[in-house]
Amino acid sequence: MKAGSNLEKLLRAGEFVATGEIGPPKSCDANVITHAGEMLRNHADAFNLTDNQTAIVRMSSIAAGKILTDMGIDPIIQMTCRDRNRIGLQSDALGAAALGIKNVLCLSGDHQRFGNHPMAKNVWDMDAITLIQTLDGLRKGYFQNGEEIKKCEPPKFFIGCAANPFADPFEFRVTRLEKKVDAGADFVQTQCILDMERFERWMELVRERGLHERCFITAGLMPIKSAKGARYMQKNVAGMMVSDEICERLEKAEDVKAEGVQLVVDQINYIRKNIKGVAGVHIMAVAWEEIIPTIIEKAGLAPRPKVS
């Protein structure tokens, strides 16, 4: 056991996990987090708190994570390398650990060009891979510069990372995951799967290299509300792939929202039945968090298992 978070315990117990995502508000309104926490508690095992996602200023993921921790809910705080250098990242990681946060998901971060402060200076002193390595070093008792952490137990982290089977070059995508696992990643959340065939091919390569045995892979899923939205993502969002099949299914649907939910439910069933090496699902219901309980229920994943 690396950190003993709810997520880690369930994964190590062999449970098929379900995680969700809560976007911190563009304000200091703590109620947004407590409200989401109350609504979603017990419907998923842990919740991502995004770190200024798409480079839009929001409440810090660590602060939001602390609010959830106080509610007895397991947070997964995201940390990107866009806004902080190795000094800031390590400092914040130590702070998160001091506040009782255990799961940290390391990301390179979206470029600020599409955010709400496109004139900002960016950092990228480190990248996702070296951030993982740095957190792994911290939990082994060393700072990035090799200095020892003294007078205190090292922080405990359950380290997560992202993997994007839909980006290019395809063959490199598994190598990249392998690098992240080598660096110390314990669990993985994939980019949302809207092209199951490609995900399956990627998983095949993952299994060939035995990576599913070296880390926990959770499949990223996203309920879509509108057919237009699906087409937009298909054409315009870098690093995403949306199959025509999915677009058409939504276009034909009478009740698109219901179809979007059913689609995710079908995906969960399909993955559990057919794809070996997937340890759980990560549901990214962006601005539609309230749908998570329905999805979990319909996919037969309720009630969520308890561990002590």
Partner 1 sequence: MIIANGKPIEEVLKSLEGHKKVAVLGCRGCVTVCLAGGEKEVGILASQIRMAREQAGQPVEVLEGTVERQCDYEYFEQVKDIIEEADAIVSIACGVGVQGVAETFPEKVVYPGLNTMFMGANLNVGVWAERCQGCGNCVLEISGGVCPVARCSKSLMNGPCGGSQNGKCEISKDVDCGWQLIYDRLSKIGRVDSLRNIIPPKDWSTSRDGGPRKLVREDLQLESGK
- Interacting residues with partner 1 (CB under 8 A): 81-82, 86, 108-111, 113-114, 122, 124-130, 133-134, 144, 162-164, 166-169, 172, 175-176, 178-179, 182-183, 191, 238-239
Nearer to partner 1, 163 or 265 (CB): 163
Nearer to partner 1, 233 or 296 (CB): 233
In the complex, least distance from residue 137 CB atom to partner 1, rounded to whole angstroms: 11
Nearest Cα neighbor of 122 from 131, 130, 112, 114 is: 112
At residue 160, what are phi and psi to the nearest 5 degrees?
A: -115, 165
- Please give the single-letter amino acid code of residue 115: G
Nearer to partner 1, 236 or 308 (CB): 236
Nearer to partner 1, 176 or 214 (CB): 176
CB-neighbour burial class of residue 213 (10 A; exposed 0-12, middle 13-18, buried 19+)? exposed
In the complex, least distance from residue 288 CB atom to partner 1, rounded to whole angstroms: 22
Q: Which long-range contacts (CB under 8 A, 24 or more apart) does 286-292 make?
A: 286/21, 286/23, 286/222, 287/23, 288/223, 288/225, 289/20, 289/21, 289/22, 289/23, 289/36, 289/39, 289/40, 290/39, 291/223, 291/261, 292/20, 292/40, 292/43, 292/44
Contact 149, 141 (CB under 8 A): yes
In the complex, least distance from residue 257 CB atom to partner 1, rounded to whole angstroms: 28
Nearer to partner 1, 241 or 263 (CB): 241
Nearer to partner 1, 34 or 234 (CB): 234
In the complex, least distance from residue 211 CB atom to partner 1, rounded to whole angstroms: 13
Contact 68, 99 (CB under 8 A): no
Degrees (nearest 5) of the Cα angle 85, 27, 48?
Answer: 60
Nearer to partner 1, 19 or 112 (CB): 112
Q: Are strands 187-190 and 216-221 parallel, antiparallel or unpaired?
A: parallel
In the complex, least distance from residue 233 CB atom to partner 1, rounded to whole angstroms: 12
In the complex, least distance from residue 125 CB atom to partner 1, rounded to whole angstroms: 7
In the complex, least distance from residue 178 CB atom to partner 1, rounded to whole angstroms: 7
Q: Rounded to 10 degrees, what is the CA torsion of 48, 216, 89, 289?
A: -10
